[in-house]
């Protein structure tokens, strides 16, 4: 087994990247969401390695200490997508499977749709296709209610609110203390919140707009998720033109990689075997 912690420079930013797993297995790139960095995959990775797959995780823009630009505009989706492509290019990884949770899922959908020649398959965890999300926000009272918290995240001073009392609001939402520690360090909360500010203000549908996906895709959704409802998950099938699988985990909250790692790893292994 190989285990490497790398510093990868791209466009003037330095990303913390972790490579691990069997030396010659197919690559799987896993992208985290808010507010947890790539440690969210810690319980998933050993199970993926057992399936003979190599993994790469990236602490994305705003999360890697060396990749925290100040301008909100530097956190638009197109730049988040380019970061992943840049890291893969620097490491000479031409083909991989994509896995993304929460915001990492949105980035993964865009990568799969816009750069299909780089990726063998997609496993989206919790977050549906961005066009399905936009449709659910437009048409579903349930999803609008679930997403009401975003208004608080984009406001000035959200950093202080979320970091207050050792991140009590995020801990109540299910984020573990060890996962919170990196984002509670001085100045570390702004970059992650800028993902919301750059993409969930103004014309959200245009900001999220994503072509259909044509590579093999799995949508893994948990029925106890309080943030991402069934509508956006089930609508995702309309935007996948290749092989598609919908998988539902019962009784698990939003934090699927941490609380149902076996299910995540199983879907990754199955998607890899179907390729």
What is the chain's mean pLDDT, rounded? 96
The string of DSSP codes covering 158-208 is HHHHHHHHHHHHHHHTT--HHHHTTTTSTT-SHHHHHHHHHHSSS-HHHHH
Q: Provide the number of structural domains found in the chain.
A: 1
- Residue 2 has a pLDDT of 79
pLDDT(48) > 90:
yes
Q: What predicted TM-score, i.e. pTM, was given to this entire model?
A: 0.97
What is the mean predicted confidence (pLDDT) over 70-82? 97
- What backbone torsions phi and psi does residue 196 show, to the nearest 5 degrees? -70, -45
Q: How confident is the model at residue 275 (pLDDT cuts 50, 70, 90)?
A: low
What is the mean predicted confidence (pLDDT) over 86-111? 97
Alpha carbons within 13 A on the beta-carbon side of 114? 18
Give residue 103's domain range: 2-274
What is the mean predicted confidence (pLDDT) over 167-192? 96
- Residue 153 has a pLDDT of 96
Continuous H helices in 42-129: 45-50, 77-90, 103-114
CATH of the domain at 248: 3.40.50.1820
pLDDT in tens, 104-152: 999 999 999 999 999 999 999 999 999 999 999 999 999 999 999 999 9
């Amino acid at each position: 087994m190989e285990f490497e912690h790398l510093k990868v420079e791209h466009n003037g930013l330095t990303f913390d990247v972790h490579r691990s797993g069997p030396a010659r297995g197919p690559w799987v790139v896993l992208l985290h969401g808010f507010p947890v960095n790539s440690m969210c995959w810690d319980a998933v990775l050993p199970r993926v390695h057992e399936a003979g797959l190599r993994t790469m995780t990236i602490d994305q823009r705003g999360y890697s200490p060396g990749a925290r630009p100040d301008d909100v505009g530097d956190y638009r989706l197109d730049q988040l997508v380019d970061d992943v492509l840049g890291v893969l290019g620097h490491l000479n990884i031409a083909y991989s499977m994509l896995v993304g949770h929460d915001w990492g899922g949105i980035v993964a959908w865009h990568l799969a749709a816009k750069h299909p020649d780089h990726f063998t398959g997609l496993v989206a965890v919790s977050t549906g296709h961005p066009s399905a999300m936009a449709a659910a926000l437009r048409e579903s009272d349930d999803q609008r209610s679930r997403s009401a918290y975003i208004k608080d995240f984009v406001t000035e001073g959200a950093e202080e609110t979320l970091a207050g009392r050792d991140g009590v609001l995020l801990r109540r939402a299910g984020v573990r203390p060890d996962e919170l520690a990196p984002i509670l360090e001085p100045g570390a909360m702004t970059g992650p919140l800028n993902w919301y500010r750059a993409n969930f203000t103004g014309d959200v549908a245009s900001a999220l707009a994503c072509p259909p996906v044509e590579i093999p895709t799995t949508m893994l959704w948990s029925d106890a998720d309080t943030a991402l409802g069934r509508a956006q998950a089930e609508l995702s099938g309309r935007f996948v033109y290749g092989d598609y699988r919908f998988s539902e985990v019962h009784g698990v909250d939003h934090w699927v990689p941490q609380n149902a790692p076996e299910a995540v790893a199983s879907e990754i292994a199955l998607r890899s075997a179907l390729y």
